Structure 1
């Protein structure tokens, strides 16, 4: 486009009008500057709106994708947790099955061991039955001898019955004498030694102690057997003869019980200690016997003054404390043990 310009200002100013020269224009007219600026601002606003919309859309899409990723991750974690829990249940189930299998194996092993033991016992019984040296009569006599030896030993240990034990051992010797087997020779020899040791026992120490204790209880001094205080001599002063009938002079530190009540209680305690000693002898309890006799000796000193009867009773108590109560027979039961060893072999 071209623009027309006015005439130069170099021409002198005058009041006369000058003719204007107008050049013809061949181009289109341009819009005013304000309209062009408005279109630019509109384009800029549209561009900003589009960019903001695009940014919001992209941010929204990214948030949706992150939310979807979080949901998927949570689902995967939950699926993994459920799968792990399932694996744990499987592991626990396998552990329980292993424990059950182990218990079953132990039961089966115990049953197998029991079957093996029963088979071994059956094998031993078959061997014993197949033994040519073991016939019915011999086995019966050996059983009879074992029964008699057991009876004699138990009667001696439990009841201290020497006569009954001697009779049982004599019957066992008769049974062994009727056996012609060479194996009975050692049994007869051992039984002869045991019978000799049994005959050497004169009496049961427990019965001896009981008899001596009963004799001691019977021979204890009483008020009638105690020595009487000596009367004053005939040539003593008259006041001594008179006062001796009214006053009895004794030591203040004497251990004897003077009053009738004290003496009665002391005699009861003495009898109780003797009963405890008798019970200890029945049980063959040496410790309890010594303790009871020691207490009885103390009561003896308290109840009766010094006299020959008291000295004799104290000597008997000391002898009872030292007497043994157990049967000393080292060979007791040796024949029975040898018989069982022979039968087991």
Structure 2
């Protein structure tokens, strides 16, 4: 686990593990935030676990964790990932909820994976806020937490200092989103390559798709996606994608919805934004060049898309993630 430098302290990520916690989401947090990154030449986070008990049984007693730091480790967290578990109707420990409230009060970022949204809601920090949870528990969540603005059909929700992911795989999507927000697209892409996982799925995509595997091989979107990714700088349109796939635009739209849970235009814009971010991180300072090479057209459109997608202007993005940073 990386140690903090006195000159440049690493962002400290702490995961709370409680009785019956799900091991998969814990592993997602470790993979994204806890591993050393020699391929980047720098470490991204200082990472540790904590637990209210010296020995913690994981889900269904599969195994136990011991010698984990106590909840006092949560007091120094810059990002606190709260525990999630399948027994959503069982109240969380008061000590865990108190740790979540204290972290929120001092400005730490809070993250809930899957049923971790229940922990955040029980602590009262989600009242009036946007959040998501696994579709399986959406009705139960709404019934218990009337003040939370639940968005049940998305992968994850970024509500600023509180972020929630819908399910197991979406924990990786949200984790990579956090890395992208903290360290830029290049770092997130590096982490995703090491995970052998999709570099970017927008949080607004649906939690599940109607047909995870196409019935016929020739209905796969993979060929047209690969073709488009090599031509982002050209004036690609949905009609051009449909023509390449040899289907009508309406059929292409249905296939995107069924296989990716998004629309062709939203996918295309997301890819272009990611390319623009990478170009800026690699040192391209001319906005007109970034806009042209990413297919976003004009510097004005680049500014609008980047603000909408990252919350930063191109200049601010360069200051935060460019080579000089």
Question: What is the TM-score of this pair, normalised by structure 1?
Answer: 0.21
The structure whose residues are more often helix, as a share, is 1
Q: Which has the higher contact order (CA 8 A, sep 6+)?
A: 1
| TM-score, normalisation: structure 2 | 0.22
